């Protein structure tokens, strides 16, 4: 007697089935996602035993954002690059851990797509065994042929053809969208496959959780401070006071916001007016996912996906989550509510 109604569909099978939704899809797309799922399993393998092998701790390097590069950052960065560089589907890559764009080695064919990625998100949490993740963003190339260019990597987020993340938590989940909804797959380590666990994830229209580093409260502008104070007031009709949850790994905080609703934000502040998070490989992919699930993602003034990047590692303030929550936040930020 079959007990579980669970469909045993692997990520590969699902990607293949979704291919017919993209008439122009040439199978390149599926191959890129397939290669990314392999990279995710390779990173998971090291993350899951990080404490046992000498891969915790830091290297002697700083990245372009001034962050100390952790050994697992470096491992994930190289693993993703090497899993993706020879498939013949990409013409260029860009990563948080590399100042310049990453070319495809001469010996491999260049393809029609572009990959930007944050190989390991939440690095400060690694040594404390707190949830971390990887983030990816995929565009079609705009340069005609041959080697990809910086312009290929600096496209507005609304041009993304796919985006997603892997969250290495109590289980390892691969979440992605190609513009037809958001789908989640959980790694079954015993068979080494990502099996579907959440098809067509929809974010609640409104939540009761806010997620941001309130340690920066005194650096925020008045509108942001007024919004936080509003969330803490008692008002049963609007579900207030909200609860505060903050993991300090964008992937984890955004994934919880996607699943439970509410708002995640990393505002700009007096010290860093553009905030801490990077537009191209953190905020654009996560905003794409949130919008595909029916949510909203802004930089305080406009939709994140409408911003035209001017630099690979540029920062942006980000406010993303349930449509209603982001709208109320926006009204406070713009001084329409006090
Ligand atoms: P990364 O590890 O890729 O540099 O990203 C860390 C980011 C993001 O994951 C998280 O939301 C944010 O840093 C947390 O910053 P604070 O520690 O300043 O709150
Ligand atoms: Mn990150
Ligand atoms: Mn990172």
pLDDT given at position 26? 67
Task: Specify whether 67 is located in the same domain as 171.
Answer: yes
**Segment 190-211 mean pLDDT:** 96
Say what the pLDDT of residue 235 is.
97
Whole-number pLDDT of residue 66: 81
Has 77 been annotated as catalytic?
no
Number of domains in the chain: 2
Q: Is residue 318 part of a domain?
A: yes
On whether residue 222 sits in a domain, the answer given is: yes
Residue 221, Cβ neighbours under 10 Å: how many? 16
Q: By CB neighbour count within 10 A (0-12 exposed, 13-18 middle, 19+ buried), where does 136 fall?
A: buried
| Domain end (from 198, 222, 249) | 198
pLDDT band at residue 1 using 50, 70 and 90 as cut-offs: low
pLDDT value for 28: 81
Asked if residue 2 has pLDDT above 70, the reply is: no
14-43 pLDDT, tens digit each:
988 888 777 666 678 789 999 999 999 999
**How many angstroms separate the CA atoms of 30 and 25, rounded?**
8
Please indicate, yes or no, whether residues 230 and 161 belong to a single structural domain of this protein.
no
Query: Where does 59-113 have alpha helices with state H?
Result: 71-84
This model's pTM is above 0.85: yes
Read off the DSSP letter of residue 109: -
User: Which ligand is in closest contact with the Cα of 97?
Assistant: 3
Instruction: Let me know whether 19 and 111 are in one domain.
Output: yes
* pLDDT one-digit tens code per residue, 163-190: 999 999 989 999 999 999 999 999 999 9
The residue from 198, 220, 248 where one domain ends is 198
- Per-residue pLDDT of 88-122, as tens digits, reads 999 999 999 999 999 999 999 999 999 999 999 99
Say what percent of the chain tops pLDDT 90.
82
226, 165: one domain: no
Residue nearest to atom 12 of ligand 1 (CA): 248
Q: Is residue 267 classed as helix, strand or coil in its secondary structure?
A: coil
219 and 193 in a common domain:
no
Same-domain check for residues 224 and 124: no
Give the domain extent around 264.
Answer: 209-333
Of 121, 63, 76, nearest to 264 (Cα)? Answer: 121
What atom of ligand 1 comes closest to residue 122's alpha carbon? 2
Of the residues 151, 175, 198, which one is the last residue of a structural domain? Answer: 198
Q: Is residue 50 part of a domain?
A: yes
Rounded CA-CA distance 245/211 in Å is 5
Average pLDDT of the chain, as a whole number: 93
**Residue recorded with tokens 């595909």:** 292
* 214 and 327 belong to one structural domain: yes
Instruction: From 336, 295, 338, 337, select the one nearest 319 (Cα to Cα).
Output: 295
Segment 44-49 mean pLDDT: 87
Active site residue 85: no
Across residues 309-324, what is the average pLDDT? 98
Same domain? 186 vs 222: no
Q: Are residues 253 and 173 in the same domain?
A: no
Pairwise CA distance, residues 1 & 332, whole Å: 56
CA angle 287, 253, 338 (to 5 degrees): 75
Catalytic residue among 118, 152, 291, 330: 118
Alpha-carbon separation of residue 158 from 52, 166, 262, 309 (angstroms): 41, 21, 23, 11
Ligand nearest to the CA of 96: 3
Instruction: Give the per-residue pLDDT at 51.
Output: 64
140 and 105 within one domain = yes
Statement: residue 57 has pLDDT above 90: no
Q: Which has more confidence, 123 or 294? A: 294
Q: What is the CATH number of the domain that holds 294?
A: 3.40.190.80
Q: Is residue 125 domain-shared with residue 68, that is, in the same domain? A: yes
């Amino acid at each position: 007697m079959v007990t579980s109604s669970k469909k045993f569909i692997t990520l590969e099978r699902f990607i293949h089935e979704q291919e017919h939704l993209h008439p122009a899809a040439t199978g390149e797309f599926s191959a890129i996602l397939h290669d990314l799922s392999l990279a995710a399993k390779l990173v998971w393998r090291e993350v899951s035993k990080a404490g046992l092998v000498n891969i915790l701790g830091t290297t002697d390097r700083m990245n372009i954002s001034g962050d100390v590069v952790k050994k697992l950052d470096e491992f994930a960065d190289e693993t993703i690059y090497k899993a993706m560089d020879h498939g013949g589907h990409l013409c260029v890559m860009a990563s948080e851990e590399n100042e310049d764009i990453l070319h495809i080695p001469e010996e491999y064919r260049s393809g029609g797509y572009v990959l930007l990625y944050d190989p390991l998100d939440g690095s400060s949490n690694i040594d404390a065994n707190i949830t971390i993740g990887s983030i990816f963003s995929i565009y079609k190339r705009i340069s005609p042929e041959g080697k990809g260019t910086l312009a290929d990597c600096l496209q507005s987020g609304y041009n993304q053809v796919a985006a997603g993340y892997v969250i290495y938590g109590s289980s390892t989940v691969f979440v992605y969208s190609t513009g037809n909804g958001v789908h989640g797959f959980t790694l079954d380590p015993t068979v080494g496959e990502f099996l579907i666990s959440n098809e067509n994830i929809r974010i609640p229209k409104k939540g009761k959780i806010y997620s941001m580093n309130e340690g920066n409260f005194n650096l925020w502008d008045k509108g942001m401070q007024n919004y936080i104070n509003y969330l803490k007031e008692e008002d049963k009709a609007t579900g207030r006071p909200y609860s505060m949850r903050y993991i300090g790994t964008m992937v984890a905080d955004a994934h919880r916001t996607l699943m439970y609703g509410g708002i995640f934000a990393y505002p700009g502040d007096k010290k860093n007016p553009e905030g801490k998070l990077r537009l191209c490989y953190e905020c654009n992919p996560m905003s794409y996912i949130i919008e595909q699930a029916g949510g909203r993602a802004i930089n305080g003034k406009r939709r994140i996906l409408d911003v035209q990047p001017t630099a690979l590692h540029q920062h942006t303030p980000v406010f993303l989550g349930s449509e209603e929550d982001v709208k109320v936040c926006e009204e406070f930020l713009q001084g329409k509510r006090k």
